Amino acid sequence: GTVCDCGRYRRVVGQLNINVARLNASIKFLKNVIAGIRETDEKFYYIVKEEKNYREALIHCRDRGGTLAMPKDEATNTLIADYISSSGLFRAFIGLSDMEKEGQFVYADNSPLQNYSHWKEGEPHDPAGHEDCVEMLSTGEWNDSECQVTIYFVCEFLKKRK
């Protein structure tokens, strides 16, 4: 018999498995995008119907060239809220947290909350200090939530300039 260089083949097969997993993730992403997308003049928004915690959601959006949605005005907030509601969802993560400094909320791009917010009455309310991430409810109201919960989330992408 002949000697098998099986280690080399195992590495090749392992790399092929990784490539297939990446392609499957890309296909799932495209199916989500095709299933529904909302847009403003400058940005596209879409709901990723995969339950992830806040950090995983942040990475998911960034890996695809976007970020978690950052509603910085009433029109954008309403658009995202209507999208969440019409998708039959109750809530979804948006790109807002106070992970760095308790009570000081910043967007996913590290810009601070300025002259717009849409907190649910009594929120943000974090007596135990564990609710550092923000979800948008289907009503458009914001609620601080634990970052480890796994829920759907909204990504935003800048439109390319022509």
Distance between CA 93 and CA 67 in Å, rounded?
11
Domain boundaries, the chain: 1-34, 39-158
What share of the chain has pLDDT > 90, as a percent? 65
Helix residue spans in 36-51 (DSSP H) = none
Average the pLDDT over each of 31-40, 44-53, 78-87 and give the range with the smallest value: 31-40
pLDDT over 60 (residue 162): no
> What CATH number belongs to 39-158?
3.10.100.10
pTM of the model: 0.77
Is residue 45 within 8 Å of 141, Cβ to Cβ?
no
- The most distant pair of C-alpha atoms in the chain lies apart, rounded to whole Å, by 76
Is residue 157 within 8 Å of 42, Cβ to Cβ?
no
Give the mean model confidence (pLDDT) for residues 39-49.
88
pLDDT over 80 (residue 136): yes
- Which pLDDT band, with edges at 50, 70 and 90, does 77 fall under? very high
**pLDDT value of residue 129:** 81
Is residue 43 within 8 Å of 77, Cβ to Cβ?
no
Distance between CA 68 and CA 81 in Å, rounded?
14
Q: Classify residue 31 as exposed, middle or buried by CB count within 10 Å of its CB (0-12, 13-18, 19+).
A: exposed
Tokens 């300025």, located at residue: 114
What element of type H or E holds 158?
strand 151-158
